[in-house]
Amino acid sequence: MTVPSLEVRDAAVNLGGVKALDGVSMTVESGRLYGLAGPNGSGKSTLLAAISRLLDLTSGSILVGGEDVMRRTPFQVARMGLARTFQTVRLMPQFSVLENAMLGADQSVYGGSFVRQWLMPWWTRSREAQVRARAEAALERLHLMDLRDEPPLSLSYGVQRKVEIARALTAEPRLLLLDEPTAGMNRTERDEIGELLLRLRNEGVTQVLVEHDLKMMVDICDHLYVLDSGHLIASGRPADCIREPKVVEAYLGRGRRAAA
């Protein structure tokens, strides 16, 4: 039996008296694409923040590759092979698209102490080239090579989101968390991203995808988890999941369900 890539056990998060997550458990097996759905404010982003250790759980635990990470810092979890994108785009305006993507792999490729990174250009040269090659490969996959030297803020929102994904891919993660990667994209771009995620899945990258586009989730995910008000209300095959009365109710409200 293989160790699951990610396990969340009875996770709870209290944010100033509000239960953002309440007793959520989920298992994510290696090499599969999981969807995390739910209406606004249901706790999806909170769960991703907890998994990447940017937010502490009030109770419960999280295991990455079978290892309890509750005592790990975010950067340590990142070095275990976890990469993520953010719901709000986080790019460095001073740097080009390429350099923004390079940030994703810097630490894993460079390694070494701060002083080495700082004062030994001869030591960093080959590493810099390696990071650049990785970043270019990631930009290639997202068809961003033409824009590699542009400052990111001059680009449309959808393209900025792609740079965000490229940065995560540059890290060559084993576990990838995507927080609404296609927000602000048109249908063609969304389909492109959907295909990319499927290809990554076939390459063995485990993924957890948060999306509002349920159609996309049903099309590409192996398994769907649905949250509502911090509770896990459904789990299973995506097509079945979205038909469950609880899920329909969470998305459309009680009245609509009666009407349907």
Partner 1 sequence: MSSWYFSHLTLIQGMLISIPLALSVQIALRSGVFSFASIGFYGIGAYGTGILTMRGWPVLPAMLLMIVASGVVAYLMSAPLIRLRGLYLGMVTFAFDLILTVVATNGGELTGGALGLLGVPLGMTTAGLVAAAVVAVLLVSQLERRAVGRALVGIKASEELVMSVGVDLRSRKRTVFAISAALGALSGSLYVSTFSTVSPTSAGFTLIITTLTMAVIGGTSSWIGAVIGTVIITWLPSLAATIGEYQHLVYGVVLVLVVMYAPEGVLGALRWLWHKVGPKKPAISTTGPPGRESVVAERVEEGLSR
Positions touching partner 1 (CB under 8 A) are 52, 54, 73-75, 78-79, 83-84, 86, 90-95, 99, 102-104, 106-108, 110, 114, 117-119, 121, 124, 127-128, 131, 146-147, 150, 154-159, 167, 171, 186-188
Q: By C-beta, is 212 or 257 nearer to partner 1?
A: 212
| Min separation Cβ 97 and partner 1, Å | 10
Between residues 70 and 202, which has the closer beta carbon with respect to partner 1?
Answer: 70
Task: Give the DSSP per-residue string, 118-166.
Answer: HH-HHHHHHHHHHHHHHHHHHHHHTT-GGGTTS-GGGS-HHHHHHHHHH
**Closer to partner 1 by Cβ: residue 124 or 229:** 124
**N residues, the chain:** 260
CB of 32 to partner 1, least distance (A): 22
Using the minimum distance from each CB to partner 1, give the nearer residue, 147 or 234: 147
CB of residue 149 vs partner 1: minimum separation in angstroms? 8
| Phi-psi category of residue 179: left, alpha or beta, with phi > 0 → left and psi -120 to 50 → alpha | beta
Q: How far is the CB of 89 from partner 1 (least distance, A)?
A: 10
- Shortest distance, CB of residue 146 to partner 1, whole angstroms? 7
Measured CA to CA, the distance from residue 122 to residue 116 in angstroms comes to 10
Helix (H), strand (E) at residue 236: strand 231-236
Quickly list H helices, 171-231.
187-202, 214-220
